[in-house]
Structure 1
Amino acid sequence: MAARPPLPARAVPEPASSLERLGALEGVDESAWLDVIQKMEQVYTQLIDDEVKLEQKNAELELQQQFIASVMASMSDVLVVCDRSGRIEQVNRALCELVGRSEAELVGQPVARLLADAGSQERAQRAMQGSTQQGVEIELNLLDRHGQPLSVDASCTPRFGGARRRLGTVWVGRPTGELKRAYQELQAAHAALKSAQQQLLHSEKMASLGQLVAGVAHELNNPISFVLGNTHALQKYCNRLQSYLSAVHQQRPNADLADLAELSALRQRLRIDRLLDDLPELIAGTLEGAQRTADIVQGLKRFSAMDPQEHQPLELAAVIELAIAWVQKGQAEPVQLRWQRPATALPVRGSAGQLQQVLMNLLQNACYAVATQPPERRWVEIRATADASWVRVCVLDAGAGIAPEHLPRIFDPFYTTKPVGQGTGLGLSISYGIVEEHGGQLRARNSAHAGAEFELSLPRACAP
């Protein structure tokens, strides 16, 4: 069979590009496909960016969860998160240690299982069903790890989700047993401090009284001498009167002139007329001495009283003058106390005995400051003024003043610049406390013209 002649050669066409193939589609040109590809690249790039941001958000969320977990673990208060039905969703380590159960054992259990009595369960149920959004404070009894009730101050706060939909409640509680013990210890310490303060106050008063013993003894001796002397005189007069009256009653009604002359001579010899003239003065002196003695004893009782005295309206000028009189009688060396009562009243409200103690302490300190000065500088001046709101008393001495290093601590307890055995360091401290209790102020400074100056300011009251 004869061979078939070869076919004539044909040109093989080049393969078309993708754009050319796409362009071959009817109605779609090359520029449209370029836009599509560009949009796809943008979407792909956006997806990559979103994925990177999502990974960052996940990392931040993990950090926040770790932070919240560490905060919950470090809380000393118990924390319980419940759903709307009151079942536990989450607890912290403090609660697990308190009740002696793990978080896995507690999650899913009703919160009522943690409570020790029906009353606590009822209060907790009402709190979880309440409509308030601020939360409520209630006291509950939890069952501890030993099955014993434990008092807890609990705060129940609602927990909300999106669209303000209530998801449940959050309980935060603190055992009150330790707080109650700490409060009791604080009360005991406060009572002990008040007792110590009263003892210090009494000790300072006794120290002040010790400085006044000499003056008090002298002041008591005078009125007692009046009473004794007048009593002896009255006794003698009484004997004379008895003799005279006895003679008068023995006379007969028809007595003659001789008898009358004898009776007149007896009257002159017994000095009955002079006796009758002296009797009113003797009785007045006796009464005066007895009253002075009573006043001195009453002043000592008021000054040395330990119990706080009731605050009453009083005239401060009278208290100042009484304090000056006491201090003058107790001074071993003469000190000139310059005082002139102001024309205006000095009405305050307080305890006369306590304010007298403050003023006596200020005056005694001022007298001590000028005791070593020359005679011409051995003086203390007391000034008093009053305005619409305050009554002020200044005690100014001519001593050497207060050293700058001592001035900031002048009212500190037990701080004194006196030698050992001559001062307790409590006078100014107690005086400062008394003035504060009266609503006033006590200040110390150095005067520009003399030594130290103490200013006592008290609220002005209506005139007593």
Structure 2
Amino acid sequence: MADTQPTADSSFTDGAWIDVIRKMDETYSELLKYQVELEEKNSALEAMRAFMESVLGSMTDVLIACNLSNRIVQTNAALVRQTGTPASKLIGMLVADLFIETDRERLSNMLFAAAANAKTQRLELSIQGSNSAELLDIHAAPRIDPRGRVVGIVLIGRPVGELRRAYLELNNAHGTLVRTQEQLVHSEKMASLGRLVSGVAHEINNPISFVYGNAHALERYVGRLEAYFDKVQAGAPREELIEARQTLKIDRAVANLRSAVAGALEGAERVRDIVESLRRFSAEGNGETQLFDLVAITRTALTWVVKAHEPRIHVAVTAPEKLLVEGRGGHIQQVVMNVIQNACDSMEGKESGEIAVEITATQDEAILRIADEGPGISPEALLKLFDPFFTTKPVGKGMGLGLSISYKIVKEHRGMLTAVNKSSGGAMFEIRLPLSWQGGEAER
């Protein structure tokens, strides 16, 4: 009997089966992995769907998604509440059927424009509610597919009444803010006025004292002359008149009479000049632009502000005799006074200090530099120096509006207000103003 041995064909068949089984195991493993991934993605999609439904359900604005045939494909609970129509009946409806008849043509034009131009459109349209129509502020935005094609329109509507209430609240809040700002600016102006009055009081005190002293001298001279002429009128003898003339010092009184009158007139004229400066300061702040002398208003500002600090603060002025600039002189004088006041405040506590003022001009602009010998400005403060309500002064010494207002005034004059620290110590403020708002050169 012959031996039975496996042939080559049967050996090959067993190996093939083993490969098939191995491949089946790999395929099954991959199927399991894909199934797990698919279930995870389905869970994620379900979570996203639930999230979107919760978002749509919580929206108070009406949302309508429609196709290019203007039929509704998706909506939210706000529309159901607004119209009283179940969501199942809303799907597939023409969106125009939700609005009152007189607004349907405008709605159609808006939908066409949104689809044709691929841009958001906006209209106020009335939607037919369950009881009555309500005016909505409607935004129509194109719905774009991943390939960039317009496939429909999304409408979002908010009741106009709600918008108007929000606008009214915003307008009231803005009005309150404006009134508060005006009160703060008024307080800052009153503080500036207080400093101005203090300087003017010092300035006007000398000529008033001069007038007062000469008036008293004139009163004494008049008394002597009246006593002497009473004797003359009474027919007193010549010897008595000579004695009275010597006793009453009539000759000296007559000799001093003109100088006393001249002194009183000089003091009165100085008071008149101060009042005239105040009048110009008030009149030139009325908003009208005109030529004003920058040198003159700077000297006046120095006189009014620094008078309260004399003799502790010395002033050095380098300036031409006259430099005319176009603008509002009263406003610029307010700026100059504020900068000078800050320079004086920076040297508070020092036994002495100097304010250096330099006025120059280029072909197109006037340049005013005011430097002090104070401690200078910190790098942090330099960044916020012209911000409203920023101040380095102690509480009660300032609200931080002076430089902010000054910066605004100079900017309105198409100029620039800047501040730097001097290498030798102290701060320097520079005010640049165009000589003419029309671009021409003013008279110098």
TM class by shorter-chain length? 0.5 to 0.7
- Of residues 110, 120, 124, the one that matches 2:107 is 124
- Of residues 319, 335, 339, the one that matches 1:362 is 339
Pairwise CA distance, 1:140 = 1.1
Alignment of 1:111 with 2:92, yes or no, is no
The aligned counterpart of 2:139 is: 154
Pairwise CA distance, 1:146 = 5.8
Q: Which has the larger radius of gyration?
A: 1
Q: Is contact 1:73-1:92 (8 Å) kept?
A: no
Letter in 1 for 2:355: V
| TM-aligned CA distance change 1:220 to 1:103, over 3 Å | same
Alignment of 1:90 with 2:74, yes or no, is yes
The aligned counterpart of 1:138 is: 123
Pairwise CA distance, 1:363 = 0.9
Separation in structure 2 between the aligned mates of residue 357 and residue 197 of structure 1, nearest angstrom: 19
Letter in 1 for 2:269: E
Q: Is contact 1:154-1:173 (8 Å) kept?
A: yes
Give me the TM-score of the superposition, normalised by structure 2: 0.63
The aligned counterpart of 1:400 is: 375
Cα deviation code 1:252-295 (max 9, x no counterpart): xxxxxxxxxxxxxxxxx9xxxx9xx99x9799769835742541
Pairwise CA distance, 1:225 = 6.8
Cα deviation code 1:59-81 (max 9, x no counterpart): 99999999689668636554324
| TM-aligned CA distance change 1:392 to 1:196, over 3 Å | farther
Separation in structure 1 between the aligned mates of residue 290 and residue 114 of structure 2, nearest angstrom: 53
1:60-459 matches, within 5 Å, as 74=55, 76=59, 78-82=62-66, 86-115=70-99, 117-128=100-111, 133-134=116-117, 136-144=121-129, 147-155=132-140, 157=142, 169-221=153-205, 288=269, 291-292=272-273, 294-299=275-280, 301=282, 309-342=287-320, 345=323, 347-349=325-327, 351-375=328-352, 378-388=353-363, 390-459=365-434
Separation in structure 1 between the aligned mates of residue 382 and residue 293 of structure 2, nearest angstrom: 31
| TM-aligned CA distance change 1:72 to 1:337, over 3 Å | farther
| TM-aligned CA distance change 1:323 to 1:344, over 3 Å | closer
Pairwise CA distance, 1:389 = 5.3
Letter in 2 for 1:383: E
Letter in 2 for 1:205: K
The root-mean-square deviation of aligned C-alpha atoms, in Å, is: 4.9
Cα deviation code 1:224-243 (max 9, x no counterpart): 6788878x979x99xx9xxx
Letter in 2 for 1:324: L
Letter in 2 for 1:432: Y
Separation in structure 1 between the aligned mates of residue 165 and residue 90 of structure 2, nearest angstrom: 30
Letter in 1 for 2:338: N
| TM-aligned CA distance change 1:109 to 1:458, over 3 Å | same
Q: Is contact 1:342-1:384 (8 Å) kept?
A: yes
Separation in structure 1 between the aligned mates of residue 181 and residue 189 of structure 2, nearest angstrom: 12
Separation in structure 1 between the aligned mates of residue 122 and residue 389 of structure 2, nearest angstrom: 46
| TM-aligned CA distance change 1:429 to 1:362, over 3 Å | same
**Structure 1, unaligned stretches of length 5 or more?**
1-55, 241-268
Total equivalences in the alignment: 365
Separation in structure 1 between the aligned mates of residue 403 and residue 174 of structure 2, nearest angstrom: 22
Calculate percent identity across the aligned residue pairs.
Answer: 36
Pairwise CA distance, 1:327 = 1.3
Letter in 2 for 1:426: L
Pairwise CA distance, 1:447 = 1.0
Give me the TM-score of the superposition, normalised by structure 1: 0.61
Separation in structure 1 between the aligned mates of residue 317 and residue 116 of structure 2, nearest angstrom: 68
SS for the counterpart of 2:106 is helix
SS for the counterpart of 1:364 is helix
Letter in 1 for 2:138: D
| TM-aligned CA distance change 1:397 to 1:284, over 3 Å | closer
Letter in 1 for 2:367: R
Q: Is contact 1:144-1:150 (8 Å) kept?
A: no
Q: Is contact 2:210-2:264 (8 Å) kept?
A: no
Q: Is contact 2:139-2:155 (8 Å) kept?
A: yes
| TM-aligned CA distance change 1:457 to 1:444, over 3 Å | same
Pairwise CA distance, 1:367 = 1.8
